[in-house]
Structure formats: C-alpha cells, structure tokens
Amino acid sequence: MSSSPSPSPPSIRLGTGDLAKYPFLNEAGEYLRQSGFGWDELGRPDMKEIVWRAAERIRAGAAGSVYDKLDRYEAEIITFLVTLIMVKAVGIEPVLKKYALAEARRAEKFLTEDLKRHNDAQKRALLAKIFYELFGLAIEVTGDGRLFKVKVTDYLARSSHFHEQEWKMINRLVDGGYVYLDPDETVRLVRSELAVLISSRVHAMSLPPTSSLPVAIQEQVDALRTELAPRYEYRTVAAKDYPPCVKHALEVMGRGENLPHSARVMLATYMLAVGKSTDEIVEVFRSAPDFNERITRYQVEHLSGAKGSRTRYSVPSCDKLRTENLCFATAECAGIINPVQFGRRFRKKEP
C-alpha cells in the first residue's frame, strides 16, 4: 500500500529569485517588512520606476500578455505589491480578472520550468510548499523522477472542469490511488485556482482614500482608468431574444469571467447560426480574461467552416448541453431540442 503524502511540505529558505517568481507567497510580504518597506516608501522619488513598471504590468495583463521581466529580483517583488495596489485603485473588475489570469500564467511558466528541474532537492521543496500552502495539493515526484503524482481525489476535484478527452480518468495513468502527470499537466491543474487566489488578494485589500495615495501612483491609476475603461463600457450584449443557455453565457462574459470551452463552442456556434458575423462574435468574447483576438478569430472561423477542416459546426443539442451543465431551461424552452429553435413558435404567432 502506498504511503500518504507528508501532511505539510518541508520548511525551506527562499531566495529573492524565488520570491520574484512567486511574489504571492507569504514570505514575499515578510521580506518587504524585514527590509523596512512600508506605505510611506511609495511616495519616494526613486519609486517612480517601480510605479511605472507596475503600470506596465497591468497594461500587459489587460492586453492578454504575460509580463515576463525577471531582471531585478528585489524590484520585481516590490513591483508586484504596487501592482496589486494600483489594480485595486483602478477598480475595473474585468481588468482585475485579466491581470490575475496574466499573473497566473506568469507563475505557471516559472512553475513548469522549475518542475522540470525537480532533481534539485531545493526546487522540489519549493514546489511542494507552493502547491500545498496555496492549493492544499500534495504532489510527489515518482521514483524515476520523470512524473509527478497526486491523489485521485485531488485530481478529480480539479480536472472536472476540463473537457478535453486526455483529462478523463480513463485516459490517465492511475496506480495505488494516485494519478500521474507531467510537469505541464501538474501546473495546469491549478492554473484557475491561482488566478482566483490573486483576485481574492486584491478584493481583500484595504486602501486609504484616493486623495491619500502617493502622487506617482495616483497619476498612473488615473491614466490606466482613462485608457482601459472605454474597453469595457460596451461589453454588455443585449440578450432578450436569446435562449437561457446563451443568455447565461453572455452574462458570464459581461462580468469579465471566462467560460469553459464547451460553453464557448455553444455560444459561438449559436451566434453563427443566427447570422452574426465573425467580427461581431469576436467582440462578444473580447471581455474574457484570456481573450486573444488572433486565436479567437481563428476558432470562430474554424467553427464556421472557413478555416481548418472546412466543416461548419452545428449548435450543440439541448441534451448535450444538459450533460455538460450548460442548460438553464425555462418554460419557454418547452418542446425544443436545440437552442436555435428557441422562440420560433412564438414569432410565428406575431402578425
């Protein structure tokens, strides 16, 4: 019988390089406190570069890019803190969600690289600490050092929102109550949790009145709000004539939240079926935290049959949507078997 993982990861000493890559760890805040860094420090003239870097980090996240600078460890630790303050002060929820996802992807990049260097005992201890303390997930390196293993229960709890076939249990290597994963899969398992963690950190922050913010920070916050706010003023899509499943998807998108892959396929194929153009559909997806115009446009064109296999995809049936927990049927849905049929019999009665 396999032994259970240790209840907690070993205590390790983190260097500034580790904290620069993973500044959301508690040790990063402790490091700043020990260095004497405080709120008043943000108003110093020599902090202007840090404030500027923080603004660029937010802009990168809002644009769907990953801020990947790691040239000055101490500066990056402070920059992360200032970025949290600034994105909180900007106060635009979709910007926060995009920023949080970009930070999660940044950490994902470093985690994947470090997992591939797991033969380093210090790296192994660091990764065990991150996965356990942040996500309550115990990971172990296999005997031959090529794969990582997690408990079946932990895997199921996190993989349930993945719809690709390779994440189904029947397609995984399972032994002794553990699921075996490569470095990329191990990190992807917690990607969404990391984005939620960063968003929750920002929501929990308390800031002083706007008038008390250091001038350099307030100037950047005002500039960011002026620059980014117009992108989200027109994101709400009128949904009164759409079926409930589509309305729900549009509401999620309107809040600046990501939809699962199957919901995106449903929404895009429905929009195509009712005559929306590729440009119109791309705009619907623009408020998604992980929006990438090039990728979104290609995927819509692929579904329409203009690219790829040249096969036009149909709107998923109501039965399929029910099995994927994407159905939000109301009394008006009675008698239909596909969302595209919604409202047709009612419209026929109109003069």
Question: Looking at residue 130, what is its pLDDT?
Answer: 80
Q: What is the residue type of 347? A: R
pLDDT of 125-183, one tens digit each?
777 778 887 788 888 877 666 678 889 988 888 877 666 677 788 888 888 899 988 87
Q: Which of 269, 264, 280 is nearest to 303 (CA)?
A: 269
- List the structure tokens of 77: 């630790």
Q: What is the residue type of 263? A: A
Rounded to an integer, the average pLDDT of 245-258 is 83
- List the structure tokens of 283: 């705009």
Q: What does the DSSP assignment read for 154-189?
A: HHHHHHTT--SGGGSGGGSEEETTEEEE-HHHHHHT
Q: For the ranges 84-88, 186-190, 336-340, which has the lowest average pLDDT?
A: 186-190
CA distance 142 to 124: 12
Locate the domains of the chain by residue range. Answer: 16-195, 244-348
Q: Which of 318, 320, 321 is nearest to 342 (CA)?
A: 318
Q: Which of 104, 99, 101 is nearest to 82 (CA)?
A: 99
Q: Are strands 173-175 and 140-141 parallel, antiparallel or unpaired?
A: unpaired
Question: Looking at residue 148, what is its pLDDT?
Answer: 81
CA distance 58 to 16: 22
Highest mean pLDDT among 63-72, 228-237, 310-319: 310-319
* Percentage, residues of the chain above pLDDT 70: 85
Rounded to an integer, the average pLDDT of 21-44 is 78
Question: Looking at residue 56, what is its pLDDT?
Answer: 93
Q: Enumerate the β-bridge partners of residue 150.
A: 179
pLDDT(301) > 60: yes
Rounded to an integer, the average pLDDT of 75-80 is 89
CA neighbours closer than 13 Å in the CB half-sphere of residue 33: 5
pLDDT(213) > 90: no
Strand order in the sheet with 173-175: 140-141, 148-151, 178-181, 173-175
Question: Looking at residue 316, what is its pLDDT?
Answer: 92
pLDDT of 262-300, one tens digit each?
899 999 999 999 888 888 888 888 777 777 788 888 899
Confidence of residue 92 (pLDDT cuts 50, 70, 90): confident
Start-to-end CA distance of the chain, whole Å, equals 73
Question: Looking at residue 350, what is its pLDDT?
Answer: 43
Rounded to an integer, the average pLDDT of 307-316 is 86
pLDDT of 320-338, one tens digit each?
999 888 999 888 888 899 9
pLDDT, averaged across the chain: 81
The vertex-295 CA angle with 289 and 298, nearest 5°, equals: 140
Largest interatomic CA distance in the chain? 76
List C-alpha distances in Å: 4 to 1, 133, 139, 189. 9, 17, 11, 20
Question: Looking at residue 339, what is its pLDDT?
Answer: 92
**3-state secondary structure (DSSP) of residue 151:** strand
Question: Looking at residue 240, what is its pLDDT?
Answer: 60
Q: Cα 7 vs. chain centroid, distance in angstroms? A: 28
Q: Which of 129, 112, 109 is nearest to 121 (CA)?
A: 129
pLDDT(1) > 50: no
**CB atoms inside a 10 Å sphere around CB 40:** 8
User: For residues 257 and 94, is the Cβ–Cβ distance under 8 A?
Assistant: no
Greater confidence (80 vs 160) lies with 80
pLDDT(4) > 50: no
Rounded to an integer, the average pLDDT of 100-115 is 85
Rounded to an integer, the average pLDDT of 42-66 is 87
pLDDT(9) > 70: no
Question: Looking at residue 83, what is its pLDDT?
Answer: 92
